Chain A
Amino acid sequence: MGSLTKDKFLFWLYTFFVLLILGFAIFAPWLAPYDPYDAVMRQSLQAPSDEHLFGTDKLGRDCLSRIIYGARTSLMMTLSLVAVITVVGTFIGVLAGYMGGKVDTVLMRIVDMMLAFPGIVLAIAIAGMLGGNIVNAILALAAVSWTKYARLGRSLTLKLRQRDFIAAAVTSGSKPLHILWRHILPNILPTIVVTASMDIGTMIMELAGLSFLGFGAQPPTPEWGLMLNEGRQHIQTAPWLMLYPGAAILIVVTIFNLWGDSLRDIMDPQRAN
């Protein structure tokens, strides 16, 4: 199969780019030319130059350094968010699917209720009401996004429950927790991981959106959405302030989206075409 080798090649290529972004985030202190918090008022709103490649903001902070540190903020927020919704959502879904009965009905009613409502509107309300900060923004998006994984975890578990090896495990006296942990989870994990990887890009954008509204990261944290919000006020005099953070989001989201798609393609070659 030529297409599978091509898919694998693409996957490793995008993995390389993902690692590159992670590298930027991890090694920010060594890569950034300046301290992202260092305000030099004499150098306020300077256009991009050799000294400051991406210019400086209103407080004279180096924009490039803030964008590099912003990768840290963004990725930390996003990865915690995706981890939370994957674990919580899958847990609830698997529980509902395996237990069935009343537990299932109640849990799925809650999921249906959440799905019958535009999530981002609720997330804005939750984040704003709890008070704008990074943790609350993550909580807000987690509160509206776990449902997808609950649905997925449930339907996968329901399919598995019919299989003979589960019946065999039950008859041979395995405890439910053991079955869930050893038999159900390993089998549904690939699908969950692929879905989660495809969600990363969207979550980066939604978190940046909350920060842009002032309901996420707070100043002076270097965060791309927040930087765009700060740059918006100087759009006339300092357009670089809104150009580069947005471009950073675009590049990082594109790479994660490509990576997620390519992961799906190698895990499930049938669905690729």
Chain B
Amino acid sequence: MKGKELVHRLMQMLITLFGVSLLTFSLMYLSPGDPVEMLLEVADTIVSEETIAETRAQLGLDKPFHVQYFRWLAGVLQGDMGMSYSAKMPVADRLWQSLPGTMVLAASATVTMLLISVPCGILSAVYRNRPLDYLIRGISFLGVSMPSFWVGLILLYVLGLKLRLFPIAGGEVSFDRMVLPTLTLAIAMAAKYTRQVRTAVLEELGQEYITGARIRGVPMHKILWRHVLPNACLPLITLLGLQIGWLLGGVAVIEMVFSWPGLGKMAVHAIEMRDYPLVQGFVLWIAVLYMGINLLVDISYTYLDPRLKKGGC
């Protein structure tokens, strides 16, 4: 990817961020819930009409839509994402607090997923239409049809409650608490990714040069390691980027199941509390994370694919 292209991409990302933030902001404006009432209800004070009006003015919620939005946007551009209503701290601080939990979980789930799906996908492709292939495909088909939160509950029940191998409820971020949510997310992702690995490897195996190599008597493992895998790598990295997009959403549900202290759990709570600045900040962060990862994927292409490095096609 050349400089000019990179600038173009970054501009596109900025436009997307602008659009997404405008969308969430208008949703909040249209939303039937009232953050002020939620806030004061929790505080458990006697609420007079005046207090409500006062708080609303304090939060700037009495202003028209465009004033609210541009005030918020101006803040963000200066690095200030506002104050969280429910956490009573700056949104950025609250996000930083929850980020490590999600990042650790997402990373370990991705690694586990790769450890499961890459070998399974390759085996499935190499032993195409043999019992092993059918078995792997069957399992992955079943995996695709299972809601991840249900898988989480089952793991929680069997491994946590019955066999007592892992602690059941979350709390602090620690290794043994991480095993179950990691497995849950990895299973859901591996089910899809195994199929994609299989397809990518099959596609390479069908190329003529592979047939040529086999006729020349090159052993299968050499063909796999030297030719098939490096070539199948490229499409798989793109698909991995897409998987991570799913992961960022899936992690919210799974964090709820395991009461894992991360961004997802924070976001669900923030939505319930109508904590607009926090929700807005969350959506923005996820957008940046996701687009950043996809940008990295595309940049990595330049290094992995020698055809692109020379500036051809």
Task: Say whether A215 contacts B149, CB under 8 Å.
Answer: no
Chain A: interface residue count, which band?
35 or more
Task: Say whether A250 contacts B27, CB under 8 Å.
Answer: no
Task: Say whether B15 contacts A113, CB under 8 Å.
Answer: yes
Find the A residue at minimum CB distance from B253: A209
Task: Say whether B249 contacts A118, CB under 8 Å.
Answer: yes
Contacts of B156 in A (CB 8 A): 235
Distance in Å: Cβ of B305 to nearest Cβ of chain A? 22
Binds B, one of A4-12, A33-41, A125-133, A162-170: A125-133
| B246 contacts the other chain (CB 8 A) | yes
User: How many Cβ-Cβ contacts under 8 Å join chain A to chain B?
Assistant: 138
Q: How far is the CA of A243 from the CA of B161 in the complex (A)?
A: 14
**B253 in complex: contacting residue of A122, A128, A213, A235, CB < 8 Å:** A213
| B33 contacts the other chain (CB 8 A) | yes
Contacts of A214 in B (CB 8 A): 268, 272
Task: Say whether A246 contacts B283, CB under 8 Å.
Answer: no
Distance in Å: Cβ of A137 to nearest Cβ of chain B? 13
Task: Say whether A130 contacts B32, CB under 8 Å.
Answer: yes
Distance in Å: Cβ of B146 to nearest Cβ of chain A? 5
Q: How far is the CA of A262 from the CA of B257 in the complex (A)?
A: 34
| B213 contacts the other chain (CB 8 A) | no
Task: Say whether A246 contacts B147, CB under 8 Å.
Answer: yes
Given contacts A228-B150, A246-B153, A249-B147, contact A121 B268 (CB under 8 A): no
Given contacts A117-B20, A121-B249, A232-B257, contact A254 B142 (CB under 8 A): yes
Task: Say whether B256 contacts A117, CB under 8 Å.
Answer: no
A39-81 vs B, CB cutoff 8 Å, 1 = contact: the mask equals: 0000000000000000000000000000000000000000000
Q: Could you tell me which residues of chain A, from 164 to 222, have a CB within 8 Å of some CB in chain B?
A: 201, 205, 208-209, 212-215
Given contacts A130-B31, A235-B156, A254-B142, contact A121 B248 (CB under 8 A): yes
Task: Say whether A209 contacts B19, CB under 8 Å.
Answer: no
How many residues of chain B have a CB within 8 Å of chain A?
50
Task: Say whether B150 contacts A254, CB under 8 Å.
Answer: no
Q: How far is the CA of A123 from the CA of B19 in the complex (A)?
A: 15
**A129 in complex: contacting residue of B15, B28, B141, CB < 8 Å:** B28
Distance in Å: Cβ of B268 to nearest Cβ of chain A? 6
B26-69 vs A, CB cutoff 8 Å, 1 = contact: the mask equals: 01101111000000000000000000000000000000000000
Task: Say whether B27 contacts A125, CB under 8 Å.
Answer: yes
B227-243 vs A, CB cutoff 8 Å, 1 = contact: the mask equals: 00000000000000000
Contacts of B153 in A (CB 8 A): 228, 231-232, 235, 242, 246
Q: How far is the CA of A131 from the CA of B15 in the complex (A)?
A: 28
Q: How far is the CA of A131 from the CA of B272 in the complex (A)?
A: 9
Find the B residue at minimum CB distance from A205: B147
Q: How far is the CA of A82 from the CA of B267 in the complex (A)?
A: 27
Task: Say whether B16 contacts A121, CB under 8 Å.
Answer: no
B161-187 vs A, CB cutoff 8 Å, 1 = contact: the mask equals: 100000000000000000000000000
A/B interface sample: 6 pairs, CB < 8 A: A120-B249, A125-B271, A129-B24, A209-B148, A214-B268, A246-B147
